[in-house]
A and B are shown apart, each in its own frame.
Chain A
């Protein structure tokens, strides 16, 4: 086997560690371990992109730059043995790089930018006045599939599959459109969380400077799901009509997704146990017993999908002219929202000092890289097809190892993800950061000029 030989011949192999002494070196065993991660951090992790991103233009030569900016950002490392290092900070990309390579963290979390260097927070604490406080932080969202456990039948807990993942796709679409159209944000990064969810980073200067109260308001704006273990009603849509945001979410995303995909893929109305859960949401006994009567008699010859057919029946009964109550008409929407509307972990969004896992980390349980997701093509994203650590190493080994880290990266399947990160997020972001920097600098210049002439 040529590849086998090639590898054994190579003395200058950059990949080392116990696994490479194993007798079958052409086979990289599946999964995740510290030595794989070391290679990933030495050859693939995009330090300079991360640094550029989180500097927001403050890393250049421009006289308006705040050179302390990146150094005031908290990063935290979770190490192999569950040791948790908070309040790490770095002045430059290379400082970050050497720390990551040295410590080889299983997880890197990103915190806020503080008023002062977080690693020196104790020195400032002495002064009494509380000067150590978060001053900037991306607006973040965390959506986790476990929060959908009561409405998905294919998987539960940490598992996801192609049948339930579209819930995340719907969530991305709804939140992404609203962040852009309603709130006017432009620089939004969506990232696969590595296992069963997605993270969202809103990076506009305006978003980074929101107060906790304003963050909470946005979280609440998105918060429709009110269910808990002890109540039947799962969503609260407000008064007799729907707010324009909910109208758009319903007509542009949820209705189609529910009726054309989710209803059938989860077989929501096929079995008694499942349709009873839907009927629970209809507060009118006579209607539920009418539908139950139709559905218990299971003989139907039509080729049409049972779920779709029954959904048609349900809508007909609820929306027919004889139902005067607004409440009942709204039931159809309530059911659709209950099953498909995004469920956010709003605590993450509400507080500036909440930590969130950095993009391009590797999930220790799945070995998958937290890659960006393109919101415009989020239907095409397949979580089971995301590059894993072992796959990336194999790709690295397959080809001859180049000198240049850049080309190593492009050769692997991670290359595409990095390219997406740059083209759809980083470049437009840095362009507008530069403009803002220029703008505020000129204003300051003008001001000092004015005061001088005066």
Chain B
């Protein structure tokens, strides 16, 4: 890809367009204006960020499908643009963002996940013939299951179809027999029949096969790009592309709340007070359970511990806090031996010495609390009765409650949390809740401004 400053527009003649559905296997050989370089990338980022938001709000697959379609139309495929312009924009923006997002493990992970989601839903929106063509383009060595073999497993395939609530399979349906390792998501969801190491993948599931390929190709490519970037490009381009690339990656990711900002530190003596006024329900629940049981299992310790770090509780106070509770159950010695390490670890003082970031809503919502666990997102993991009781305790009025429960039933867990926030604080939260530490800092902002209003001299 050549980047030029000239005003020359990319014309369709610059690139031979083969498919409308690029697999991004080789960088395009064409010239790109510097402005387009940045603008295209920002447009694609809007798409990816939109997908990311949708996922973290717990949208269902069909909602994501619509979302992807809308985002794609409004940011990449402009109505006036020709087909080839759209494809060029698609390819260019993808490769620019590779440069932007190849540079750290965390950036790669996010980009890989969003691009894969985008690819998945775009693939699903394609017609049957086009899907087969894309499948062929990946050059996968799988053959359709023969008629005789189909007969031998027909009963099992029917069971699987029924378990998925689909109509019963017919013998003219095409199945591919592939090593189970190739379709991890279908195995994980028990969406395929697995026998002797092979999964029987129905034609309407090949999206998983293709996505696995796409993902693994992109994952490898990102690592290679990173190598090239650090060894050559970044230096060569330090006056031209490097500033753009670096700005792009930081400008769009939200804050990670790894350091408490704006409020300084919270000390141990204030903890009970702020827990009551400014903790979101997930954290308040863990906090209360800890006080009640004097113990939390690993998931709970991580979720609450990192949150408290983000809130600004210094390491020494955190140790005192956890010790004072755990000692009542396991004794101070056992605490020092078995639990103190984990807390120092969270603060980056042990092990790999990584300063761990507090969990975001998305991470909490997708966690899977088990027996004896109290972590997770109450809006997602509590039964309706327990959630009502908990909200009641927080002081949510019955009218607000029904709105909250409504969101919960539609799986908009973060919106439910946002409504709870608004009900308790009596003021709106337009950005929505995306992070427990954001809940906390927004709450503190409101409460402190109220203190100032009532007591201007303070």
Interface residues of B in 257-309 (CB under 8 A from A): none
* A214 adjacent to chain B (CB < 8 Å): yes
State whether A221 and B381 are in contact (beta carbons under 8 Å apart), knowing that A228-B373, A243-B163 are contacts in the complex.
no
A218: interface (CB < 8 Å): yes
The A-contacting residues of B in range 160-191, CB under 8 angstroms, are 160, 162-165, 180-181, 184-185, 187-190
Is B127 in contact with chain A by the CB < 8 A criterion?
no
Given the complex of chains A and B, what is the CA–CA distance between A232 and B383 in angstroms? 7
Given A220-B189, A228-B370, answer yes or no on A183-B180 (Cβ-Cβ < 8 Å): yes
Residue A368 is within 8 A (CB to CB) of chain B in the complex: no
Residue A230 interfacial (CB < 8 Å): yes
B5 adjacent to chain A (CB < 8 Å):
no
B162 touches A239 (CB 8 A): yes
Chain A residues with CB below 8 A from B189, complex form = 220
Given contacts A213-B184, A220-B189, A240-B165, contact A228 B371 (CB under 8 A): yes
B426 at the interface (CB under 8 A from A): no
Q: Indicate which residue in A147, A184, A244 contacts B370 across the interface (CB closer than 8 Å).
A: A147
Contact flag A239-B165 (CB < 8 Å), given A228-B371, A231-B381:
yes
* Closest A residue, CB atoms, query B186: A217
A305, CB-defined interface residue at 8 Å: no
Q: How far is the CA of A415 from the CA of B434 in the complex (A)?
A: 58
Query: What string of 1s and 0s marks CB contacts (under 8 Å) between B360-391 and chain A?
Result: 00000000111111101010011100100000
A184-B197, A217-B188, A218-B187 as given contacts; A230 in contact with B386, CB under 8 Å: yes
What A residues does B329 contact at CB under 8 A? none
Q: Is the CB of A230 within 8 A of B378?
A: yes
Question: Are A182 and B159 interface neighbours, CB within 8 A?
Answer: no
A217 closest partner in B (C-beta): B184
In the complex the two chains form, what is the Cα distance from A210 to B180 in whole Å? 11
Chain A, residue nearest B192 (CB): A243
Among A148, A149, A185, A245, max chain B CB count under 10 A is at A245
Q: Is A63 interfacial (CB-CB < 8 Å)? A: no
User: Is B94 part of the binding interface, using a Cβ–Cβ cutoff of 8 Å?
Assistant: no
Is A228 in contact with B381, judged by CB distance below 8 angstroms? yes
Q: Do A230 and B374 touch across chains, with their CB atoms under 8 A apart?
A: yes
CB distance from B165 to the nearest CB of A (A): 4
Is B156 in contact with chain A by the CB < 8 A criterion?
A: yes
Instruction: Tell me the chain A residues, 216-254 only, with Cβ under 8 Å from chain B.
Output: 216-218, 220-221, 223, 225-233, 238-247
B197 touches A206 (CB 8 A): yes
Q: Does A343 contact B (CB under 8 A)?
A: yes
| Whole-angstrom distance between the Cβ of B103 and the nearest chain A Cβ | 14
Q: Is the CB of A230 within 8 A of B381?
A: yes
Q: How many residues of B contact A (CB 8 A)?
A: 35
B182 to chain A, nearest CB (A): 9
A181 at the interface (CB under 8 A from B): yes
A228's partner among B156, B159, B195, B376 (CB-CB below 8 A) is B376
Residues A216 and B188 in contact, CB atoms below 8 Å apart: yes
- 1/0 per residue B334-375: CB within 8 Å of A? 000100000000000000000000000000000011111110
> From residue B339, how far is it (CB to closest CB) to chain A in Å?
12
The answer, yes or no, to whether B33 is at the interface (CB within 8 Å) is: no
Nearest chain A CB to B310's CB is how many angstroms away? 23
A82 within 8 A of B: yes
- How far apart are the CA atoms of A214 and B184 in the complex, in Å? 5
Are B190 and A221 within 8 A (Cβ)? yes
CB distance from B271 to the nearest CB of A (A): 23
CB distance from B417 to the nearest CB of A (A): 16
Q: How many residues of A contact B (CB 8 A)?
A: 43
* A328-B185 Cα distance, complex, nearest whole Å: 29
The answer to whether B185 and A217 touch across the interface, beta carbons within 8 angstroms, is: yes
- The chain A residue sitting closest to B198, CB to CB, is A184
Q: What residues of B have a CB within 8 angstroms of the CB of A213 in the complex?
A: 184
B373, A229: Cβ atoms closer than 8 Å: yes
Q: Is the CB of B196 within 8 A of A226?
A: no
Known contacts A242-B163, A243-B159; A226 and B188 CB within 8 A of each other: no
CB distance from A334 to the nearest CB of B (A): 14
Give the shortest distance, in Å, between A220 (CB) and chain B (any CB). Answer: 4
| Nearest neighbor of A151 in chain B, beta-carbon distance | B371
- B218 CB within 8 Å of chain A: no
Which of B177-223 touch A at CB < 8 Å? 180-181, 184-185, 187-190, 193-198
Chain B residue contacts of A182, Cβ below 8 A = 194-196
The complex places the Cα of A231 from the Cα of B408 at a distance, in Å, of 14
Q: What residues on B are CB-neighbors of A243 within 8 Å?
A: 159-160, 163, 190
Determine if A285 is an interface residue (Cβ-Cβ < 8 Å): no
Given contacts A210-B181, A217-B184, contact A229 B371 (CB under 8 A): yes
Q: Closest residue to B337 on the A side, CB-wise?
A: A82
Q: Nearest Cβ distance between residue B409 and chain A, in whole angstroms?
A: 15
A231 pairs with B383, CB closer than 8 A:
yes
A149 partner residues in chain B, CB cutoff 8 A: 371-372
- Which B residues touch A225, using CB under 8 A? 370-371
Decide: B162 and A240 in contact? CB cutoff 8 A.
Answer: yes
Chain B residues closer than 8 Å to A226, beta-carbon distance: 368
Question: What residues of A have a CB within 8 angstroms of the CB of B195 in the complex?
Answer: 181-182, 184
Least CB distance from B372 to A in Å reads: 6
A450 is an interface residue with CB less than 8 A from chain B: no
A340 to B175, CA, bound (A): 34
- Quick one: CB contact mask for A120-159 with B, threshold 8 Å, 1 for yes? 0000000000000000000000000011111000000000
Write out the residue numbers on chain A whose beta carbons fall within 8 Å of the beta carbon of B197: 183-185, 206
Complex CA distance for A343 and B162, rounded to whole angstroms = 25
Residues of B within 8 A of A346 (CB): 368
User: What's the nearest-Cβ distance from chain B to residue A121, in Å?
Assistant: 11
- Expressed in whole angstroms, the minimum distance between the Cβ of B215 and any Cβ of chain A is 9
Residue of chain A at shortest CB distance from B390: A230
Query: Assuming the A-B contacts A147-B370, A221-B188, A230-B374, are A244 and B159 also in contact, with contact meaning beta carbons closer than 8 angstroms in the complex?
Result: yes
Given the known A-B contacts A238-B163, A239-B164, are A181 and B187 also in contact in the complex, defined by CB atoms under 8 Å?
A: no
Q: A213-B184, A214-B184 are in contact. Are A231 and B382 (CB under 8 A)?
A: yes
A111 CB to closest chain B CB, in angstroms? 14
Give the residue among A217, A230, A247 with the most B Cβ atoms within 10 A: A230
**Known pairs A184-B196, A216-B188; A231 contacts B386 (CB<8 A):** yes
Interface string of A411-422 (1 = CB under 8 A from B): 000000000000
Q: Are B160 and A244 interface neighbours, CB within 8 A? A: yes
Cα A245 to Cα B189 in complex, Å, equals: 12
Cα of A240 to Cα of B190 in the assembled complex, Å: 13
Residues of B within 8 A of A220 (CB): 187-189
Q: Output the nearest chain B residue to A228 by Cβ-Cβ distance.
A: B369
List residues of chain A with CB within 8 A of the CB of B383. Answer: 230-233
**Chain A residues in 8 Å Cβ range of B371:** 146-150, 225, 227-229, 343
Chain B CB count within 10 A is highest, among A228, A239, A245, A346, for A228
> How far does the Cβ of B385 sit from chain A's closest Cβ, in whole Å?
8
B375 (CB) vs chain A CBs: closest residue: A228
- Besides A149-B372, A242-B163, 17 more A-B contacts (Cβ < 8 Å) are A147-B372, A184-B198, A214-B181, A217-B188, A223-B368, A228-B374, A229-B371, A229-B372, A229-B374, A231-B383, A232-B383, A239-B165, A241-B162, A241-B163, A244-B156, A244-B193, A246-B163
List 9 tightest A-B contacts by C-beta distance, closest first. Answer: A184-B197, A241-B162, A217-B184, A220-B188, A239-B165, A228-B369, A217-B188, A184-B196, A243-B190
Q: List 5 A-B contacts (CB under 8 A).
A: A182-B194, A220-B188, A226-B368, A227-B370, A229-B372
- Residues on A lying within 8 angstroms of B by beta carbon are 82, 146-150, 181-185, 206, 210-211, 213-214, 216-218, 220-221, 223, 225-233, 238-247, 343, 346
